[in-house]
Amino acid sequence: MASPIHLELSRPQLLISSVVTSVVTGTAAEAATAQSPGAEMPQNSKVSMIVNDERHEIEVDNRTSLLDALREHLRLTGTKKGCDHGQCGACTVMVEGRRINSCLTLAVMHQGDEITTIEGLGEPGNLHPMQAAFVKHDGFQCGYCTPGQICSAVAVLEEIKAGIPSHVTSDITAAAPLTTTEIRERMSGNICRCGAYSNIMDAIVEVAGTRA
Amino acid sequence: MDKSAFEERKTISAPMHASLRHDSAHKHVAGSADYIDDMPEPEGTLHAALGMSDRAHAEIVSMDLSAVRTAPGVVWVMTGADVPGHNDISPTGRHDEPVLAEGRVEFHGQPVFAVIAESREAARKAARLAKIEYRDLPHWTEVTDTLENGATLVTDPLTLSRGDADAALAASPRTISGEMRIGGQDHFYLEGHIALAIPGEDDDVTVWSSTQHPSEVQHMVGHALGVPSNAVTVQVRRMGGGFGGKETQSNQFAAIAAIAAKKLKRAVKFRPDRDEDMTTTGKRHDFLVAYETGFDEEGRIQAVKANYAARCGFSSDLSGPVTDRALFHADNAYFYPNVRLTSQPLKTNTVSNTAFRGFGGPQGMVGGERIIEEIAYALGKDPLEIRKANFYGEPGSDRVLTPYHQPVEDNIVARIVDELDHSSDYKARRRAIIDFNAKSRVIRKGIALTPVKFGISFTATWYNQAGALVHVYQDGSIHLNHGGTEMGQGLFTKVAQVLADAFQVDIATVKITATTTAKVPNTSATAASSGSDLNGMAAFDAARQIKERLVAFAAEKWGVSPDDVAFVPHHVRIGETLVPFADFIKQAYMARVQLSAAGFYKTPKIHWDRAKGMGSPFYYFAYGAAVSEVSIDTLTGEYQVDRVDILHDVGRSLNPAIDKGQVEGAFVQGMGWLTTEELWWDDKGRLRTHAPSTYKIPLASDRPKIFNVRLAEWSENAEPTIGRSKAVGEPPFMLAISVLEALSMAVASVADYRHCPRLDAPATPERVLMAVERLRGM
Ligand code: FES
Ligand code: FES
């Protein structure tokens, strides 16, 4: 059996480390985990991205996620790390207008891409309509999921407009309807542990101009 | 005098009871609200990771950490022997919880060593290189296994009893006995645990900790470092959720970061990965409830006997008070003429379970509601009828005494339930559902109305105190600090409203500052829903002191009676004269009036004698009720929640917008607990549901399709709490019991409602399907 510990490494690390680690069979009274320490030194790369309309050139370890690049290299900490496993949506940003879990993609894959984070959508005093709607409807409690929810919500409305079907779209050949069911389904990749879903939906619905 | 300004602005922007938005709203939506991981790191900050046991119960025969030490980037490897003070973070002083295990491990994932390295990745990778030899010992992870194998307890059990339960059971016309399993729950605060320790001079250290209990982190860090509390400062501005999971569980990360920071003289940041967080931190307690009840043909309860056995994990942590609170809520809103309740806080080889919204109360209540359901199915009646027949009586009647001998004096459950019964059209909908089920082959529906009565106060009486520090600066701006912590519940906003109201200034005049042990000492955890009750009153007391000095100053200076001095919007009225607040403050400063005060509050009336199981542990009760309607697919067990109506009591709400959000959020979280959130340990004692990929939290698409939430606007707290409001954090969590019971009714329909489905929690689709199959065979 593979050492269970391996599975706990976050995904980008796992991709790399599974190449170099040994698999150990543990028996009852034996050594727990062993792992070859001989990982070759990681390669660094230069990446140039346009983040929030500004061009940035950074040098990152090839295994650095886009999330870590944004948070740790560019100090754009508005994008949050909830799970680092692509399962909570807190790290949602927009790449070339489409939403993406930034923890699930490597920074080096985004050479030349245009990226919008929560900071790029708007700032206090000059909020994006979606941000303003979240304020108006109290679309949060602790606020940790909020940047991801807002980026996702902005992109969801675009997806619907572009006619991209979802799991609940009944006729995938027709334009996806702008219903609360559609929005709810499409927003289901963004966990809000505080359970502010009602207010989040109210905010999105207001911006979408649909009726609840 | 400035009459014109007064004419223009007769009100302030956010007094008490106004629906003011959250104080950080504009920052949350712009991503500029800083959590600890977002703060700029001090130069040369090091990072920590845990080395965890992969045995559930074993002796450590040998530990070879040489490969860890020589791994790239590693600066230090810390073991239990390196803890300079006490290798212990047991919050109740039982010395049963090491910072790092020594000699033996007691759960799979227990921290055995910590790696401090130049980067988080380096620390995490190095932590995998340890060679630890174990000698396995027998381990029990499940409550049932533990009971069968000579169960030991982590702490003293509790008995609550009144009347003669055995005799009343023997004399009852009808009796039922059964068992119910109730699962635990992971907090999954979206911001995981984090601690940033910055070493100072001498023995000083400052720790930014994502904690609901800064004072305890301060004590634990001091205890582990072997330094007095005055050397340790703990701070937190906000958390990305806590839910009880950051009441004691922050101690370990803070202690390790602080020890390493002091040793290495560099800042140390410890932000565990999500899997690490879920594996090494405690959760809601699972319970096995064994119950027996006696009742008459009308469904009136004569006696209840129940034992609540809980999976507490390897150490006591808060399991004593949690299992106590389970017993305190086993009655929910029902009078038990004869009762005997016992708790059994079991030691298991799992992570030590801890506080979680409701603190055992929800589990107690779920057990109590199962008893109601049993009686209803046995008598072929609507469970709501059984509920109404058993509610606590009006004050002064002979049906007001709880199993802990505190009379219920503020009972409004009957009114809440009646109003909801009508507004939700419960009876007609129930009839329609029964008709629908008679005709529908695959899809079945269920509906249930369940009440909540939840006791407010810490049962540890001494925790019911709070402090606040208020400064009014020369320019009239106000600085607010109190012992409570902000985790999204809106506490800071509410307390700021209290101050704005007291001084009659706009909320923008009040600056809310990070909680720190250096400003307000000896605070209690922001828990037990008590945050606004305690800290609101403490801030109010600080304002009172400053206002008294200001009134005396004004009376003397203007030569009026103190009764002729009043704080009015943006001004102070002194006799006929109106002085703008800021001008007035400036004059008070020039006259050397002290413009700062430390406020204090302790909850009156409460007392509790645990050994006797008697007292008045609760200052008051909060009430509520919910009706849930669900549909299940009897071929797959899948279900959806079609509609939920809630009427909840928060007294006179301090902030209706925030309170409504709390009610909705608590309901959704409670629904997750009782439906999809399942924790699962394998036969090696390893938690296999340690990430959101395997642990299913409610999503936007799981929210009830129709969700009508109302606050009982007519309600006022019978006790003189701040603004006559009531606590709101925990009570609505238990409204979700209505979902479990509605699912149960849908299941019961397959056997014509003749049998209580005994649907255990969480009622996952698998469990619903199994219950359907079981009932089909009956
Ligand atoms: S942090 Fe990327 S999905 Fe959770
Ligand atoms: S507001 Fe806390 S997780 Fe969504």
DSSP B708-750: EEEE-TT---SS--GGGB---SSGGGGGGHHHHHHHHHHHHGG
The distance of B532 to chain A (nearest Cα, Å) reads 16
Closest by Cα among B471, B462, B475, B463 to B542: B471
B8 band by pLDDT with thresholds 50, 70 and 90: low
| Torsion sign, CA atoms A81, A87, A90, A94 | positive
Choice among A34-38, A114-118, B282-286, B626-630 with the minimum mean pLDDT: A34-38
Whether the CB of B184 sits within 6 Å of ligand 2? no
Residue B676 has pLDDT above 80, yes or no: yes
B7 band by pLDDT with thresholds 50, 70 and 90: very low
CA of B697 to the centre of ligand 2 (A): 12
d(CA B434, CA B417): 21
Query: CA geometry: angle at B268 spanning A102 and B687, to 5°?
Result: 60
Size of interface A-B (CB pairs under 8 A): 235
d(CA B153, CA B151): 7
Range B726-751 average pLDDT: 97
CATH 3.30.365.10 domain extents, chain B: 3-29+465-602, 286-459+609-776
The percent helix, strand, coil of chain B (3-state, each to 5) is 35, 25, 40
A71, A77, A91, A100, best to mutate for ligand 1 pocket (most atoms within 8 Å of CB): A91
CATH 3.90.1170.50 domain extents, chain B: 53-138+193-271
Contacts of B135 in chain A (CB under 8 A): 29
Whether the CB of A141 sits within 6 Å of ligand 2? yes
Are A30 and A55 found together in one domain? no
d(CA B523, CA B234): 12
Upper half-sphere CA count for residue B376 (Cβ side, 13 Å): 26
Q: What's the ipTM?
A: 0.95
Domain span at residue A65 reads 45-121
Q: List Cα–Cα distances, B701 to A149, A180, A191, in angstroms.
A: 14, 10, 10
**Count of Cβ atoms closer than 10 Å to residue B219 Cβ:** 19
Output the tens digit of pLDDT for each of chain A's 212 residues.
Answer: 333 333 344 444 444 433 333 333 333 333 333 444 445 556 899 999 999 999 999 999 999 999 999 999 999 999 999 999 999 999 999 999 999 999 999 999 999 999 999 999 998 889 999 999 999 999 999 999 999 999 999 999 999 999 888 888 888 777 778 889 999 999 999 999 999 999 999 999 999 985 44
Q: List Cα–Cα distances, A199 to A29, B688, B707, in angstroms.
A: 54, 33, 11
- Bridge partners of A31? B133
Spell out the residues 6+ positions from residue B372 whose beta carbon is closer than 8 angstroms to its own. B334, B383, B386, B387, B390
Q: Which of A67, A89, A121 is at the close of a domain?
A: A121
Q: Which ligand is nearest to the CA of A81?
A: 1
* CATH annotation of B53-138+193-271: 3.90.1170.50
d(CA A148, CA A152): 6
Is B730 part of the annotated catalytic residue set?
Answer: yes
Determine the atom of ligand 1 nearest the C-alpha atom of A81.
Answer: 1
Range B606-622 average pLDDT: 96
CATH for A89: 3.10.20.30
Are A64 and A106 found together in one domain? yes
B352 DSSP assignment: P
The answer to whether the pTM exceeds 0.90 is: yes
Question: What local confidence, expressed as pLDDT, does residue B111 receive?
Answer: 98
Nearest to B241 among A189, A194, A201 (CB): A194
Share of chain B above pLDDT 70, in %: 99
Question: What local confidence, expressed as pLDDT, does residue A13 receive?
Answer: 45
| Torsion sign, CA atoms B38, B42, B43, B46 | negative
Going by DSSP bridges, is the β-strand pair B571-574/B565-568 parallel, antiparallel, or unpaired? Answer: antiparallel
> Residue B742 has which token pair?
């509605």
Q: Which of A94, A121, A148 is at the close of a domain?
A: A121
Spell out the residues 6+ positions from residue B162 whose beta carbon is closer than 8 angstroms to its own. B336, B338, B339, B401, B403, B405
Q: Is B614 helix (H, G, I), strand (E, B) or coil?
A: strand
Question: What local confidence, expressed as pLDDT, does residue B3 receive?
Answer: 42
Nearest to B121 among A13, A150, A187 (CB): A13
Are A49 and A104 found together in one domain? yes
Question: What local confidence, expressed as pLDDT, does residue A11 receive?
Answer: 42
Instruction: Name residue B751's amino acid.
Output: A
The distance of A129 to chain B (nearest Cα, Å) reads 11
Strand order in B58-64's β-sheet? Answer: B104-105, B58-64, B131-136
CATH for A148: 1.10.150.120
Nearest to A143 among B28, B136, B243 (CB): B28
Range B499-527 average pLDDT: 95
Residue B101 has pLDDT above 50, yes or no: yes
Are A133 and A178 found together in one domain? yes
SS3 labels along B311-323: ECCCCCCCHHHHH
Q: Which of A97, A121, A145 is at the close of a domain?
A: A121
Determine the atom of ligand 1 nearest the C-alpha atom of A89.
Answer: 3
pLDDT tens-digit map of B333-370? 999 999 999 999 999 999 999 999 999 999 999 999 99
Tell the CATH topology of B286-459+609-776. Aldehyde Oxidoreductase; domain 4 (3.30.365)
Q: B390-418: b or e for each residue (b if 16 or more CB lie within 10 Å)? A: bbbeeeeeeebbbbbebebebbbbbbbbe
- Domains identified in chain A, total number: 3
Closest by Cα among A39, A4, A177, A148 to A84: A148
Closest by Cα among B737, B772, B777, B769 to B757: B772
CB contact under 8 A, A143 and B698: no
Instruction: Name the strand (E) or helix (H) holding A92.
Output: strand A92-95
Question: What local confidence, expressed as pLDDT, does residue A174 receive?
Answer: 75
The distance of B640 to chain A (nearest Cα, Å) reads 13
User: Please, where are the H alpha helices in B202-304?
Assistant: 214-225, 250-264, 274-280
Choice among B410-424, B526-540, B668-682 with the minimum mean pLDDT: B526-540
pLDDT tens-digit map of B44-68? 999 999 999 999 999 999 999 999 9
Whether the CB of A195 sits within 6 Å of ligand 2? no
One-character DSSP codes across B52-115: E-S-SSEEEEEEE-HHHHHSTTEEEEEEGGG-SS-S---TTS-----SS--SEE-STT-EEEEE
Whether the CB of A140 sits within 6 Å of ligand 2? yes
Q: Is B133 helix (H, G, I), strand (E, B) or coil?
A: strand
User: Please, where are the H alpha helices in B164-311?
Assistant: 165-171, 214-225, 250-264, 274-280
Closest by Cα among B158, B160, B155, B151 to B92: B155
Range B548-556 average pLDDT: 98
Strand order in B159-162's β-sheet? Answer: B159-162, B338-346, B301-311, B286-295, B174-182
The CATH number of domain B3-29+465-602 is 3.30.365.10: yes
User: Does B762 sit behind a cis peptide bond, omega within 30 degrees of 0 on the bond before it?
Assistant: yes
Residue B567 has pLDDT above 90, yes or no: yes
The percent helix, strand, coil of chain A (3-state, each to 5) is 40, 15, 45
pLDDT tens-digit map of B299-314? 999 999 999 999 999 9
Are A92 and A154 found together in one domain? no
d(CA B16, CA B20): 9
d(CA B49, CA B361): 34
Spell out the residues 6+ positions from residue B441 whose beta carbon is closer than 8 angstroms to its own. none
Instruction: Share the mean pLDDT of chain B.
Output: 96
CA of B89 to the centre of ligand 1 (A): 31
Please list every protein residue whose CB sits less than 6 Å from any atom of ligand 1.
A 81-84, 86-91, 101, 103
> Residue B20 has which token pair?
């003011």
Are A154 and A176 found together in one domain? yes
Are A22 and A52 found together in one domain? no
Instruction: Name the strand (E) or helix (H) holding B416.
Output: helix B413-423
> Residue B764 has which token pair?
């996952």
Residue B482 has pLDDT above 50, yes or no: yes
